[in-house]
Structure formats: structure tokens, C-alpha cells
Structure 1
Amino acid sequence: MDQKKEKLESAVGLLKLLSHPVRLSILCNLLHNGEMSVTEIVEAESGSAGQSQISQFLGKMRSEGLVKTRKEGQTVYYKIDSPQAELVVQALYEIYCQNEC
């Protein structure tokens, strides 16, 4: 696969992960709040998804390299680990949410 095709496939993969409103919201929260625990993320989502669904989303994003974890005791903290995801989420925030979210 040539380099251009690889980059396009990577972009498509990122956009697919961002295409769910809760996943995008999680990444927005991580972008603007920094590292957050699962409990903090669930609270920030204000009932838009339960803890098990959020945990599934975080697991998927972690396996795809968008977020990374740090464990402290029983608490797992998440933060964005993809510069590409960070740039795209920041751009989407500025376009759609800056004055309303």
C-alpha cells in the first residue's frame, strides 16, 4: 500500500471513531479537561451513556491508539494519545461548540 493510501485509511479510521456522538463528546471532554477517570467521564456525559457503554468506547479508542491509560490504585485515568485526534477534535469543537458547549 502506498503512503498516500495508508494516510487516507488512517484518516477514515479516525473519522469512523469520531462518528458516534458519545465517543466525540468523550474526546472533547478529555481535550478540555485533560486526564479523567472513567467515573469523571461518566459524570461529564450527564446520562448520555452508561458506564459500561462508555467503558466499551474507551476500550475501542484505546485499542485504536486514540487514548492511553494510567492506573492509580483501582482508578483508571484516560487521556488523549493521538495528536491527529486532538487536532480534529479541537477543530470540530471550534466550529460547532465553542460558544454553546
Structure 2
Amino acid sequence: MDADKQMCGLDPDSQYVELAVEVFGLLADATRVRIVLALRRSDELSVNHIAESVGKSPAAVSQHLAKLRMARIVSTRQEGQRVFYRLENEHASQLVSDAIFQAEHSVANGQVPAHHHDERAEE
């Protein structure tokens, strides 16, 4: 395989564009975005802890987690009867963070959104 001939994933003709659209579609759900945000704060969480964090029932969260797991956005570890979930990698977390930051820009009314403020300047 010649590495020089491989198509960049960021190229408009990339084979990954359609898969990226599927990821956006999967994350186009407020509960799933909240699940990713909850998991990015912890190494791993049980369904009950995630449900408490996002304000949904464990059954509803389990259904969302199953979809995120099939898309390889989350992975699991079992300990006895309990299943713990974690983000598979940093990319879903970054994608959700960037979407939140873009949302902050859309309501900033010409002001600099909070995520652009330098904490050192406020001290």
C-alpha cells in the first residue's frame, strides 16, 4: 500500500464524508449530546450515573447508549452485573465541544463567547 496515494480523510472526495454525516445524524439528539458531555467528565460511568447526569430514565439512556456503542462512539466494561461506559476516543468529545462552542457563537450577539475568554486575564 502506497501511503502517498491514500486519500486524505479531510478531502471533499473522501470516502469518510458519508460516514461523517451518519455521525452528525447520530449526535443530532440532545440526550446523546448530554451523554457525551457526561462521559467526557469521567473515565467511565454506569447507566444509572449517566441517567442521573442527563435527567433521563436508565431505560431511555440504555437505548441511546446502544446506538452510540454500535457507532463505536462509546465502549463498555463489565464488572459483575454492572456495565460501565466510556468514550471510545477523544473525537466525539471534541465534536460535541465544538458544536457547543458554535452554539455559543450563534447567541453571542457580537460579543466574545465565554469559551474565548482567557482565564488568566480575569485573575
What's the TM-score, normalizing by structure 2? Answer: 0.68
CA distance in 2, matches of 1:40, 1:6: 37
How far apart, in 2, do the equivalents of 1:34 and 1:10 lie? 26
Q: What CA deviation, in whole Å up to 9, does each residue of 1:7-49 have, x standing for no partner?
A: 1112111111110000100001001223100010011112xx2
Taking only the aligned residue pairs, the percentage that are identical comes to 29
Structure 2, unmatched stretches of 5+, are 1-6, 105-112, 115-123
Bigger CA radius of gyration: 2
TM-superposed deviation, 1:5: 4.0
Taking the TM superposition and a 5 Å limit, the aligned residue runs for 1:47-86 are 49-86=56-93
Where structure 1 has 5 or more consecutive residues not aligned to the other structure, the ranges are none
The answer to which of 52-61 and 82-91 deviates more is: 82-91
Q: Quick check: which one's helix share is greater?
A: 1
Q: CA RMSD in A?
A: 2.2
Q: CA deviation at 1:93?
A: 4.0
